[in-house]
Amino acid sequence: MKADTPSYLNFDSGKYAWKPDIYYKKHPELYRVGKGEQGVLICEPYKSEIGPNWRFKTEEIAKESSAKIYAQFQNYLDQGDFVGADMARKYLQMGYTRARRYANYKGGKKYNAAKNYALLARGTGEEEKAKAAAVFYTCWKAAEANERYQTEKLNWKKNRG
């Protein structure tokens, strides 16, 4: 498979560290920080707690959404729930990356499945999504810069992965 094809084409769920049948609030020891947004659409109960607040259609919607998710991030930290805080951080990051995808590509589609997953033309997306992405970017970076989060993340990765 060529390097510019979507990673989901050869996805191996058996090797994926995050499982949909694990309730991570009861079994946080099974959670792995991972890279980027990995596990964000799988890990329960966080998917159900945070996911409904995740919206980026317009800049105003992104402001409301990112503020709610950032508040959840803070609440999880205050409750000593690192997994929840990391998942909220991932949703903020995903708000940025998905909005950027829609800003860069019409309809958010990067590949043309009918043409052997050839890359589609960049720069055909919506300007409003770029504004939404900027909103999420600010909140995502604020979450990552949070000192308590940074300390907990380092400890988690050192002790659990």
- The string of DSSP letters for 111-127 reads EEGGGTTEEPPSS-S-H
Q: Which pLDDT value is given to residue 1?
A: 43
pLDDT score for 105: 85
Helix (H, G, I), strand (E, B) or coil at 62: helix
pLDDT per position in the chain (161 positions), as tens?
445 666 666 767 777 788 889 999 999 999 999 888 988 999 999 999 999 999 999 999 999 999 999 999 999 999 999 999 999 999 999 999 999 998 888 877 777 777 777 777 777 778 899 999 999 999 999 999 999 999 999 999 999 87
Q: Is the pTM of this model over 0.75?
A: yes
Q: How far apart are CA 41 and CA 18, in angstroms?
A: 10
Q: What pLDDT does residue 3 have?
A: 57
In this prediction, residue 119 carries a pLDDT of: 74
Specify the residue for token string 């829609």. 102
pLDDT digits (tens, 9 = 90+) for 86-125: 999 999 999 999 999 988 888 777 777 777 777 777 777 7
Contact 90, 33 (CB under 8 A): no
